[in-house]
Amino acid sequence: MSDLLVFIAAFLSVSLPAQCQIFENDSSVKTIAFWDLNETYSYTVVLENYDVVEADTIDRILTSYTVDMLVIDSTETSYDVRWTYRDMDYELVDENPLLEALMEKLNELTGGSVVEFRTDELGAFQEVTNWEEIRDYYMVARESMKEFFGNNPDVNQFLENVMSIYLSKNSIETSSIKDVHQFLNFHGGEYRLNEPIYANMEFPSVVGGDNLDALVTVELMKIYPDDDDYSIYSIVEVNPTQLKEQTKLVLRRMLPHATEEEIQEGLDQVGELWNVIENSSIIHYWGWPTYSRETRQTGSDQKVKVETRTIEMI
């Protein structure tokens, strides 16, 4: 059960959906989106996932793709953006024939490559606007994959876990577009050198119900006036008690026949659950991130899941 618990805790990971003006006189910046209608940029994205068990790194998967970002509408109060995925590729470091076959089949699927979302006038995330289209595509893809692999129980479980993040508007916005949230992580804020910002924030739970509390720290690291950009860092530390309660709730739904004692025993065996998200970015004056690296670590006493995503302007 320990692998399942850590997977659930990772699934419950939250993003910091947080303008860019630079004021040299007081060493401050505002991360504001100064984007034009039909303005577009492309980014390379490299995503590395692996698990750490004691001193060993296992199950490493390296995924790379390109994103084309296009501003499709601009008003006084909002931007509408199209985020198009292409050139998807992956590498499995550890041999796993079943996972490799699944990844190859998933890579062959067409469609589902466009996410459209809305921000406020500052560039802070508001909502995914084509979430129903995304949901419907992945539900059809899930059933097609199950049929292709002959309703193999292991495959079915894998697909249920993977596709669960596309079931609702809430789950799509909180779990399936982590790269979008990473891209917009600092938009809507004002920051000063040598003045870290500490805040307690609430984030929507993927499974509904009570929100998750988190301690957020944001720090402006350095301003580069000659380049019209700056580097900035944030760390999000999720409340471990609430994370464990949310994990317990998900377990009850996934294992409806398990007794309360069995679920609690599994939780006790893995020990403390924790979730930390770190983001280091470089953002240009016009509110376009040129580089961003985010690392998410979700762990227990037995295992740590690591997810590192690097986004870089082409």
Q: How far apart are CA 212 and CA 310, in angstroms?
A: 26
How many CB atoms lie under 10 A from the CB of residue 311?
Answer: 20
Question: Cβ contacts of residue 132 below 8 Å, gap of 6+?
Answer: 169
Q: How far is CA 78 from CA 72, 118, 122, 129, in A?
A: 11, 7, 8, 13
Q: What is the DSSP letter of 211?
A: P
Q: How far apart are CA 98 and CA 284, in angstroms?
A: 43
Describe the strand order of the beta sheet including 28-31 as a list of residue ranges. Answer: 20-23, 28-31, 190-192
Query: What's the pLDDT at 110?
Result: 62
Positions in the chain short of pLDDT 50: 2, 4-8, 14-22
Q: How far apart are CA 48 and CA 310, in angstroms?
A: 9
Segment 143-177, tens digit of pLDDT: 888 888 888 887 888 788 778 888 899 889 988 89
The type of residue at 12 is L
CATH number of the domain at 118, please.
2.30.230
282 close to 291: Cβ distance less than 8 angstroms: yes
Q: What is the domain extent for residue 13?
A: 2-313
Segment 267-286, tens digit of pLDDT: 776 667 888 999 999 999 89
Q: How far apart are CA 279 and CA 296, in angstroms?
A: 9
Kindly write down the DSSP assignment for every residue of 225-291, as one continuous string: GGGTEEEEEEEEEE-HHHHHHHHHHHHHHH-TTS-HHHHHHHHHHH---EEEEEEEEEEETTS-EEE
Q: How far is CA 293 from CA 11, 221, 313, in A?
A: 19, 14, 12
Both structure tokens of 63:
């995924």
Query: What's the pLDDT at 240?
Result: 84
Write down the residue that tokens 């949901």 correspond to. Answer: 135
Query: What's the pLDDT at 126?
Result: 96
When divided into structural domains, the chain yields a total of 1
Q: How far apart are CA 216 and CA 198, in angstroms?
A: 6
